[in-house]
Amino acid sequence: MGSFASAYVWRLRKRETARGSKVAAKYTMSRGRSMCPHCQHRLFAKDLVPLLSWLSLAGKCRYCQSSIGAQYPLTELVVSLLFVTSYLFWPFGFTPIGWGLFVLWLVLVEIGVILAVYDIRWTELPFRIVWPFSAVTVVFVGLRVYAQADFWSIGYALLAAAILFGLFWAIHVGSKGEWIGGGDVVLAPALGLLAGTPLVVLLLLFIASFGGVIVALPGLLTRRQSLAGKIPFGPFLLIAAWMVVLWGERLIAWYQNALLLS
Ligand SMILES: [Zn+2]
């Protein structure tokens, strides 16, 4: 699934930049075998073993010796870690509905990784991927509400989505798109639904902003990056959403017990 995400991101970019031309059709996922992004030599099974092929070839194409960026093995590693951690810390159990939720969740993780990698490389969240992410989220959250048999939570989830969307939209319009990009605004309702309650949305925002500051700080301090410089916010939002779905309620309970009541 990690290899698929990498290949998909690359093909998507080729199609987005060649939209409408004949070249674009060459990079649809259903057509064409795996190929080297530089020499376009066809890749075989021995070139496609996740992580191991990249390591054994020392990050170079077997056919043209061009270096293959660490993005590919890193994506494979991250996807496998996200899948395994999701299984280990799965909060909804493994009843039939729990399994259904889990499968939908893995689909969301996969699409989320595609979004994050695209955003990291080209600071853009393509609508073409945000929409399927949002659609799967609606099914996931609907099933989650059904599993928890608490139908008030539909209202909380919608409120959470409205809060995040409203906030991002206001910042987007207020800063003329400088501080928060259009892709983040379109992604916001899905992230709010995943968070599920207004309180968990605040937690999601806190984690994402904190992560963004931690990553941006070294660049700011060494002045390699100015305050006006851009870092993609999408990956931080997606990681925060991943965390709050798995640990949100527990984190808030811990916070209330440890810090507020002691
Ligand atoms: Zn090559």
The predicted structure's pLDDT at residue 231: 81
The predicted structure's pLDDT at residue 196: 94
| Burial class of residue 227 in the structure, from the number of CB atoms within 10 Å of its CB (0-12 exposed, 13-18 middle, 19+ buried) | exposed
225 within a domain of the structure (yes/no): yes
Residue 123 sits in the same domain as residue 178: yes
Residue 199 sits in the same domain as residue 104: yes
Q: Of 121-130, 152-161, 227-236, where does mean pLDDT reach its minimum?
A: 227-236
Please state the rounded mean pLDDT for residues 24-49.
Answer: 81
Determine the distance separating the centroid of ligand 1 and the alpha carbon of 141, expressed in angstroms. 43
237 within a domain of the structure (yes/no): yes
Determine the distance separating the centroid of ligand 1 and the alpha carbon of 22, expressed in angstroms. 23
Residue 256 sits in the same domain as residue 145: yes
Residue 107 sits in the same domain as residue 217: yes
Determine the distance separating the centroid of ligand 1 and the alpha carbon of 34, expressed in angstroms. 11
Which tens digits make up the pLDDT trace of 7-18? 889 888 888 887
197 within a domain of the structure (yes/no): yes
Q: Of 105-109, 176-180, 228-232, where does mean pLDDT reach its minimum?
A: 228-232
The predicted structure's pLDDT at residue 20: 67
Determine the distance separating the centroid of ligand 1 and the alpha carbon of 46, expressed in angstroms. 14
Determine the distance separating the centroid of ligand 1 and the alpha carbon of 205, expressed in angstroms. 41
Residue 249 predicted with pLDDT over 70? yes
Residue 153 sits in the same domain as residue 243: yes
The predicted structure's pLDDT at residue 86: 96
Determine the distance separating the centroid of ligand 1 and the alpha carbon of 43, expressed in angstroms. 9
Determine the distance separating the centroid of ligand 1 and the alpha carbon of 39, expressed in angstroms. 4
Our count of domains for the chain comes to 2
Determine the distance separating the centroid of ligand 1 and the alpha carbon of 81, expressed in angstroms. 28
Enter the pTM of the model: 0.90
74 within a domain of the structure (yes/no): no
188 within a domain of the structure (yes/no): yes
* Residue 92 in tokens: 């909804």
Determine the distance separating the centroid of ligand 1 and the alpha carbon of 62, expressed in angstroms. 7
Residue 51 sits in the same domain as residue 123: no
- Residue 10 sits in which domain range? 2-56
The predicted structure's pLDDT at residue 261: 64
Residue 262 predicted with pLDDT over 60? no
Determine the distance separating the centroid of ligand 1 and the alpha carbon of 12, expressed in angstroms. 19
Is the pLDDT higher at 213 or at 32? 213
216 within a domain of the structure (yes/no): yes
Determine the distance separating the centroid of ligand 1 and the alpha carbon of 48, expressed in angstroms. 13
Residue 100 sits in the same domain as residue 169: yes
Residue 119 sits in the same domain as residue 48: no
Residue 24 predicted with pLDDT over 90? no
Quick one: what percent of the chain has pLDDT higher than 70? 92
The alpha carbon of residue 33 and the mean position of all alpha carbons in its chain are separated, in whole angstroms, by 25
Determine the distance separating the centroid of ligand 1 and the alpha carbon of 74, expressed in angstroms. 19
Determine the distance separating the centroid of ligand 1 and the alpha carbon of 57, expressed in angstroms. 12
Residue 39 sits in the same domain as residue 98: no
List the one residue out of 106, 104, 101 whose CA is nearest residue 86. 106
Average pLDDT, the chain: 89
Residue 95 sits in the same domain as residue 49: no
Which tens digits make up the pLDDT trace of 25-35? 677 766 668 88
Residue 123 sits in the same domain as residue 177: yes
238 within a domain of the structure (yes/no): yes
Residue 142 sits in the same domain as residue 95: yes
